[in-house]
Structure 1
Amino acid sequence: MKAAMWAHPWDLIDEGPEQAANRLAALGIDEVNLATAMHSVQTLNPHNPERKTFFADASVYFQPDLDHYGSITPDVNATMGDDDWLATIADGFADTPVDLNSWSATFHSSSLGRQHPEATLESPFGDSLVWGLCPSNPAVQAYGRALTTDLASRDVFGTIEMELADYQYGTGYGWHHQEWFTRLGPLGEFLFGLCFCEHCRDHATAVGVDVETARESARSGLSALFEGELAYDTDIAGWLAEHPSVGRYAETRRETLLTLFEDFSSIIDPLDFGYYFKMGGLGDDRMGIEHSWKHGLDLYGLSAVLDSATVLAYHQNPSVVRDDVNATRTFFDEPVRAGILAGDPIVHDQDGLRAQVQAAVDAGANELSFYGYGVIPDRNLSWIGDVLNTV
């Protein structure tokens, strides 16, 4: 079975791109999903020969062609400086059997959000959620198209893969040391991240949504959750049935995203266009791909746009991995990739990894993607090689 592995550029640079590619090939890895535009991060790098941790603000790991961009331009990684890690890695991989894919967290950038607060998601209370750029904003759309053009034109990738080029999640997936001591639950996460920027409001108003009622309902729902007047595990569908303006407001975002993804697809062609579907927090078994509507994603519409769909099935229970892949297959005829986190807190031994992989394969996954090269120990890498030998 075809297998890929996610990798951060600093691990490949520090080990030596060609050496790392040959090591991956020996494990049975066919492709590397290389981080090209990333959110803020600190990684622990168990087998990196130069450093055991890496800090980075949200940034890109190549030298962008600024002629592509408008008012929003990428931040080049400070550690990389004037180098171009993407170019160096592509050169190192050129004569190896491992192909490169681009992996970008397109609109998840606290750095760009701080620089352009007018372009971020806006909570129902008017807060700028600096970790996320809003896809309804024309300047953000232009940035997404420019970044996609820049990456696709590099002529080094087989697939352009994205995540979080959508309306994201209410807490921003833990973008820094957060202090959240109120139990929001799935409804609260959804409501807090529901964007009410001027562009989202204008679009919803144009199609007949009562925007002010929707915003007031969202605020009231969150306030009730804050004070314990509404249970954290309140059924979202039931709550939306009682507050239909909020549901209609959220629904309007799907058309915006689908149109933008069609633009991405045209830019990427003839390369393949892949997307990562991640719902909820790490190991959250309650949030399968069917919750994608919370991010504004129209799964049926995207099935006609994407060339592959990757479900990030980061669950300890193999049956939930199976369910994730099964659910994804109901929406997509295109190749479905199962994302497997091959380290803590999901996998602790080879048998556990094997059970996860087998569940994904049995559910019909066409390909596997493992997270991730530099952030798991050598021991875990050997588990991946052993498991792939038997799939």
Structure 2
Amino acid sequence: MDSSLYVYVEDVRGEGTEAVLDRITGYGVRGVTVAAAYHRARDVTPHGRARVTVRRDGAHFVPPADLFDELRLVPPLQEGAADEPLAALREATAERGLALHGWTVFLQNTTLGLAEPDVTVRNCFGDRGSPADLCPSHPDVRLYAVALGRAVARQGVDSVVAEALHFGTFGHGYHHERSFVPLGPMDAFLLGLCFCGFCMRRAADLGVNAEVAREECSRIVGAVLDGAPPAQGEVTRAALTAYAGPEVVAYARARSETVTSLVSDVSTAVTAEGSRLVFLDATGAVKGYSDGLPSSGLAAHDSWQLGVDLVALGDLVPSLGVLAYARDAGRVAEDVVAYRRSTGKDRELRAVLRPGLPDTDSAERLAAKVRAVRAAGADAVDFYAYGLMPYPILDRIPGALSA
């Protein structure tokens, strides 16, 4: 079975290319998925050159002039990008017979969002309150995403692994976030919907009364902000229809056309550069990232909340990534089965597992989850992430792969 390990450029720079690849080869994986363009974060890095690593938004390569010179949005440069770390890693992995995949964060970029706030999502109150989230409806954002996908493909990677190539959520729109208002899941969902002019026009073209949807969202969320009790329970289409009305649900569902067409454009561009697109649906992370205890709804069934139409994407992209962030092996198997049913049998499914906390507490549990996703129909199993896990945790990987 194909497999890969997610790696940061800072890992390779701090520990040395040969040392990192020696370890990765020893784990029995067949590829490296390197963060070619990433977002800002502060990470505890247990075996890194820095034990706490502060990451910035931007690309680990110089953006090609022919792709970005005429564009408004250009990815910031990461430290050392001019040294071409991806080219060096491409050469080193090729020598070892390892695949190299370019992990690319597309529409989560606080630096660009703060510099150009009009390209970010706009909530039902008219606020640009999520500077990390670039709106996939905005024409400049769409041009940027296509150029970024093409630029990463040019780095000679076997695939471009697309993270955040869809709408985001209100709960992940900035860093050091505070809300002392008890927003329920449905209120947070409504507050995360984008009502910029481009989104509203796209919805209207599909027959949705976008202004009614915006007014309903602002009325409902406004009441909660004024002290009304929040709605409880999971976000489902039926529950949301009862809570906010059919026009809001229609507006939310209309977002899938925006995402589907954008992913199609990026995939076409990546293919033209001789690579292929792996689409990561973040729904599994939204549900289980913090504790590995996702709510009962399967990720594939809830992906519409991010504007993701898995059935449509199954016809457009060759590979999809399932973020299987759950403690229970049975649950990750159910998620993989649901994705397989949505995307069809001829699409590659890559299940992404975490070998350690918060959802894997032993080598036995990791092995059980690898067996489960294999049995459920996953074509590949990948592991997240080298620099974030202590060595003893990473040492669980070879046993899990051979189980």
- Normalised-by-shorter TM-score class: over 0.9
Q: Report the alpha carbon displacement of residue 315 of structure 1 after superposing the two structures with TM.
A: 0.8
Question: Quick check: which one's helix share is greater?
Answer: 2
Letter in 1 for 2:153: A
* SS at structure 2 position matched to 1:133: coil
Q: Distance in 1 between matches of 2:175 and 2:235?
A: 29
* SS at structure 1 position matched to 2:46: coil
Give runs of aligned pairs for residues 53-202 of structure 1, distance below 5 A: 53-69=52-68, 70-77=71-78, 79-80=79-80, 82-128=82-128, 129-154=130-155, 156-172=156-172, 175-202=174-201
- Cα 1:349–1:149 change in 2 (3 A) is same
Q: Distance in 2 between matches of 1:167 and 1:219?
A: 19
Q: Distance in 2 between matches of 1:96 and 1:299?
A: 35
Long gaps (5+) in structure 2: none
Q: Distance in 1 between matches of 2:189 and 2:43?
A: 28
Q: Distance in 2 between matches of 1:120 and 1:235?
A: 24
Q: Report the alpha carbon displacement of residue 235 of structure 1 after superposing the two structures with TM.
A: 5.1
- More displaced 10-residue stretch of structure 1: 129-138 or 235-244: 235-244
Establish whether residue 351 from structure 1 lines up as the match of residue 352 from structure 2: no
* SS at structure 1 position matched to 2:121: strand
Report Cα offsets for 1:338-369 as digits up to 9, x if no partner.
11011211112211212222221221211101
* SS at structure 1 position matched to 2:101: strand
Q: Distance in 1 between matches of 2:21 and 2:165?
A: 28
For 1:5, the equivalent position in structure 2 comes to 5
TM-score, normalised to structure 1, is 0.94
Q: Distance in 2 between matches of 1:199 and 1:256?
A: 10
- Cα 1:81–1:266 change in 2 (3 A) is closer
For 2:294, the equivalent position in structure 1 comes to 285
For 1:43, the equivalent position in structure 2 comes to 43
- Give the percent of matched residue pairs that are identical in Structure 1 and Structure 2: 29
Q: 1:365 aligns with which of 369, 372, 378?
A: 378
Letter in 1 for 2:338: A
Establish whether residue 312 from structure 1 lines up as the match of residue 313 from structure 2: no
For 1:251, the equivalent position in structure 2 comes to 253
Q: Report the alpha carbon displacement of residue 386 of structure 1 after superposing the two structures with TM.
A: 1.6
| Kept in 2: contact 1:275–1:310 (CA 8 A) | yes
Letter in 1 for 2:138: N
| Kept in 2: contact 1:7–1:32 (CA 8 A) | yes
Letter in 2 for 1:278: A
Long gaps (5+) in structure 1: none
Give runs of aligned pairs for residues 203-282 of structure 1, distance below 5 A: 203-226=202-225, 227-233=227-233, 236-242=236-242, 243-269=245-271, 270-279=274-283, 280-281=286-287, 282=289
Q: Distance in 1 between matches of 2:267 and 2:151?
A: 14
Letter in 1 for 2:305: K
How many residues align structurally?
Answer: 386
| Kept in 1: contact 2:187–2:231 (CA 8 A) | no
| Kept in 2: contact 1:17–1:93 (CA 8 A) | no
* SS at structure 1 position matched to 2:388: coil
- Cα 1:244–1:41 change in 2 (3 A) is same
